[in-house]
A = this chain, B = another copy of it.
Amino acid sequence: MSASPDGKSRSQGGRSAIGVGVIGYGYWGPNLARNFAESPDCELIAVADLKPDLAALARRRHPASRVTSDPKELINNPKVEAVIIATPVSTHHALALQALKAGKHVLVTKPLASSSEQCLELIGEAARRKLVLMVDHTFVYTGAVRKIHELVAKGDLGDIYYYDSVRVNLGLFQHDVNVIWDLAVHDLSIMDFVLPKRPVAVSATGIAHVPRGLENTAYLTLFFDDSVIGHVHANWLSPVKMRRTLIAGSKKMIVYDDLEPSEKIKVYDKGITLNGDAESVYKMLVGYRAGDMWAPQIDITEALRVEAKHFAACVSGKEKPLTPGEAGLRTIALLEAATRSMHNRGQPVELPALHAGR
């Protein structure tokens, strides 16, 4: 296992593993570090964290990696080809920009940055340098969400009617972002991945129960240009943990409960049938169709393992990112609009047309 002068390292069956460095070893960083370390396509070259105790922990768990308190040192390490950023949101932009400017591919934990402007700058920088810029929208890489995407894409659900999600638990109150930036962002990234349409406006409401605090309970409605609606209930102050999403279509309906140990996705052959005179609501007959329920087996590979493999393939030019910087931008534009609406008691906010496609 020797590094070649061009920074490529660990040769595996004729091809090189990609050297990665992880900045931030707090809550999520260890999971990223572990998955990239165990990925056959990557080699964990370095880990950086400012806190001595976290650095020590990283050192113990990854004795073969270089552990430092200095992100700059990690970024400039010639063996590091790709930088994974798992620090507080407020530092994402600066670190990612630095890494891109140093010619490194970048993967950033969600949300990508603190503002649309920051996202646009990162996207531009990555494009100019032909580097991969990816956001860690983890749920997109779970077996459950990939299965939902497949069912929607194949048309099994028919026309989509709504996406409704409840994502609540007790804690962890954040000091720098409100609950929609922390929790609802997951649902926004899932909708961005599975729904065939983009939202055009948003209305949000919420409340802070902590003096001078950020909103800890919030409700978000997304409007689309046709008969689709999206809704997220995000809450840090719930007595029970819930992760339950309903996705209804004209043909089938899905209940996705991420806390179910086995049957996370249930597909219901249920719906309504319309008869009679559609011109007059009073003459129209609404029938109810109830058939079998089906829980497809889903891949239980850890999402970050799938994501690490995909990121490596993107860096190698073999795949296109499923969650590129543009997905991060779209999500953040929504979060910005929602926060604005929330400060005006649900006043709807139009969304900018973001031409950055998938």
Which residues of A are at the interface with B, using a C-beta cutoff of 8 A?
63, 161-162, 164, 166, 168, 170-171, 173, 175, 201, 203, 205-214, 217, 219, 221, 223, 227-229, 231, 233, 235, 237-241, 246, 248, 253-255, 259, 261-263, 266, 268-272, 274, 278-282, 284, 286, 288, 290-297, 341, 344-348
Contacts and interface: CB of A to CB of B under 8 A. Distances in A.
Contacts of A268: 239-240
A278 to B, nearest CB: 5
A171 B294 contact: no
Given A171-B272, A211-B278, A241-B261, 10 more contacts: A161-B207, A164-B233, A170-B271, A171-B286, A207-B229, A209-B227, A212-B284, A217-B229, A239-B270, A341-B346
Number of copies: 4
A248 B291 CA distance: 24
A205 B221 contact: yes
Nearest to A227: B209
24 contacts: A162-B207, A164-B233, A170-B272, A170-B288, A170-B290, A173-B286, A175-B281, A203-B346, A205-B221, A209-B272, A210-B286, A212-B281, A213-B284, A217-B229, A219-B219, A219-B221, A237-B271, A239-B270, A269-B297, A291-B297, A292-B295, A294-B294, A294-B295, A347-B347
Nearest to A166: B166
Contacts of A345: 201, 203, 221, 223, 348
Contacts of A168: 246
A18 to B, nearest CB: 21
A274 B346 contact: no
B346 A214 contact: no
Contact of A295 (B161, B293, B348): B293
A159 to B, nearest CB: 9
A239 B248 contact: yes
